[in-house]
Structure 1
Amino acid sequence: MWIDTHCHLDAGEFDADRDAVAAAAAAAGVTGIVLPAVAVSNFAAVRALAQRHDSCVYALGIHPLCTPGAAQADLDALRREVAASLGDPRFVGIGEIGLDFFVPGLDAGHQTWIYAEQLRIAREFDLPVLLHVRKSQDQVAAQLRRIGVRQGIAHAFNGSVQQAQGFIDQGLKLGFGGNLTFSRARQIRRLAQELPLDAIVLETDAPDIAPAWLSGDQFGEQHKARNTPAEVAGVAKVLGALRGLDAGPLAQAMWRNSVAALPRLAAFAATMAPSAPPASRLPASAETIRNLPVSS
């Protein structure tokens, strides 16, 4: 069965049907969902969701888009919450943290400080990180090397081969999701096909980055449709088609990689990891996408 290593199930887009969304994911064969926090104000929400749904685990962190309102008090609160959560088997790491140099108006220095301090918390407690790397791969990786964090996931990876190798050399996995399903995402598809399989994990970033069969095969359209954790099963089929892998071996590899990235998941592996994933078909539009050439 599949694992979604990055899903914001606490987001407002799910307020009307959150439990139904979680049930649909389970029906699609998604037995693991990682819920990263984005600010101190939603720590309790992600923890409560993880406690309510058997498939869910959570991480705690301050997202770069939330750094304008964050200060030392937020970092102190994060450290206290992390220390208090170490005995919770559903707590798996620090995240979502990182840098965003795409959204205008963010203070680069301030978000870099918040990010670096969270890396220090991760190192102090020997925890992995869930990283936001939008237009910031080199800067995020540089701080990882400087502070010495060597485990986690570079979420929604969209960099070069050289940048990918830098994260891999630092001990991290790379997250691939809905963007992988778009025929124009040639670089992402090429990376997913050619990188070592043990460097890859699957994700949705739900409710964002919906796959092509929900939003149309055009860049820029993915935010017009709501993504859900159930869609990681379809993303997995696209990855399997690109790499020539059947569902069973691929599902086992994705679970193995996810546990390597987030070792506290190991406590759930016996009950959540796959033995014989269902051989469900891709949505019709995804079957078309998987046959598109990866190279231009």
Structure 2
Amino acid sequence: MHEKRTRVPLVDSHVHLDDQAFAGDLEAVIERARQSGVDTLVVPAVDARSWPEIRQLCARHAGVHPAYGLHPLFLLQHAPEHVDALSSWLNENRPVAVGEIGLDFHRDDLDRELQRHCFWRQLQLAGEHDLPVIVHARGALEEVTLTLRRNGRLRGVVHSFSGSEQQARQLWDLGFHLGIGGPVTYERAQRLRRIVAQMPIEFLLLESDAPDQPGAAHRGERNEPAHVVEVLRCIAALRNAPEADIAAATSANARRLFRLN
């Protein structure tokens, strides 16, 4: 049974449609998203090998937009020349953002100094190309925030935000958005729910991070961009606001940040 279509079209600001989890039914996944009201999707890359595939995927589907970057979790797949290649790729293939980039200190086998160098250089590229950044910050939110403040000229989103109220406020002070997805639908996520209930609406983006991070209604299943509607409903309830108002505000935020038509 399909969800009822949201009156205001939604933006999924972070979905990995190029993931192998969607290889068998990508067209159906995109169609389910559209039927649910999610008609605009941003697809961030994780490594250099994924850039051409994402470019082709986005060219085939209206409303699907690419972001190109080097994800810290895939550090062992990145070669030193890939950052330079990213600069050329951005010149030749105009994306909506540089991403997914950032720091991940959750895993001990990933060289932190190399992560820092890769992150900083990609932030520089984003500034040079006047593009927003899509930032991953697992176990490294304090350092990510300090690095963004040090750069000082960027706009973007910290996706899958899971920090404290103070950390959220520090990002808003920098003009950064918070990407909120499936985790907010779990009742145990009390801190995140408090932040989302009270945060300035102009810094809120909806995301799925599909195929990862399914919401409470889909625990253990593959996530899909259509499920962003459930994130919307949860946030509207937390804020005691009409779903249409949250949909309109978050979609406008995404369109403004990524300069989407």
Tell me the TM-score normalized by structure 1.
0.83
Residue 179 (structure 1) aligned to one of 183, 186, 207: 183
Question: Separation in 2 of the partners of 1:37 and 1:11?
Answer: 10
Amino acid at match of 2:100: E
For the residue of structure 2 that corresponds to 1:239, the secondary structure is: helix
Amino acid at match of 1:179: P
Tell me the TM-score normalized by structure 2.
0.94
Shift of 1:260: 3.0
Corresponding position of 1:79: 87
| Residue pairs, 1:63-212, within 5 angstroms | 63-86=71-94, 91-212=95-216
Amino acid at match of 2:176: L
For the residue of structure 2 that corresponds to 1:95, the secondary structure is: strand
Contact 1:68 1:107 (8 Å CA) reproduced: no
Corresponding position of 2:57: 49
Contact 2:126 2:154 (8 Å CA) reproduced: no
Contact 1:4 1:203 (8 Å CA) reproduced: yes
Amino acid at match of 1:113: H
Question: Separation in 1 of the partners of 2:30 and 2:40?
Answer: 10
Structure 2 portions without partners, runs of 5+: 1-8
Question: Separation in 2 of the partners of 1:151 and 1:51?
Answer: 25
For the residue of structure 1 that corresponds to 2:235, the secondary structure is: helix
Deviations 1:26-65 (A, max 9, x none): 0101011100001100001111111111121110000001
Shift of 1:234: 0.9
Shift of 1:104: 2.8
RMSD over aligned CA atoms reads 1.0
Corresponding position of 1:252: 248
Corresponding position of 1:225: 221
Contact 1:128 1:149 (8 Å CA) reproduced: no
For the residue of structure 1 that corresponds to 2:49, the secondary structure is: helix
Contact 1:181 1:235 (8 Å CA) reproduced: yes
Runs of 4+ with deviation above 4 angstroms? none
Corresponding position of 2:4: none
For the residue of structure 1 that corresponds to 2:96, the secondary structure is: strand
Contact 1:172 1:261 (8 Å CA) reproduced: no
Contact 1:123 1:148 (8 Å CA) reproduced: no
For the residue of structure 1 that corresponds to 2:67, the secondary structure is: strand
Shift of 1:199: 1.3
Question: Separation in 2 of the partners of 1:153 and 1:8?
Answer: 16
Number of residue pairs aligned between Structure 1 and Structure 2: 253
Corresponding position of 1:220: none
Structure 1 portions without partners, runs of 5+: 216-223, 268-296
Amino acid at match of 2:233: K
Question: Separation in 1 of the partners of 2:144 and 2:257?
Answer: 17
For the residue of structure 1 that corresponds to 2:134, the secondary structure is: strand
Amino acid at match of 1:227: N
Deviations 1:246-283 (A, max 9, x none): 12211110111112322x21x2xxxxxxxxxxxxxxxx
Amino acid at match of 2:247: A
* Stretch moving more, 9-18 or 137-146: 137-146
Contact 2:47 2:77 (8 Å CA) reproduced: no
Deviations 1:187-209 (A, max 9, x none): 11111001111111100100000
Deviations 1:154-183 (A, max 9, x none): 000000111111111111100000000000
**2:33 matches 1:34:** no
**2:238 matches 1:242:** yes
**2:33 matches 1:25:** yes
Corresponding position of 2:5: none
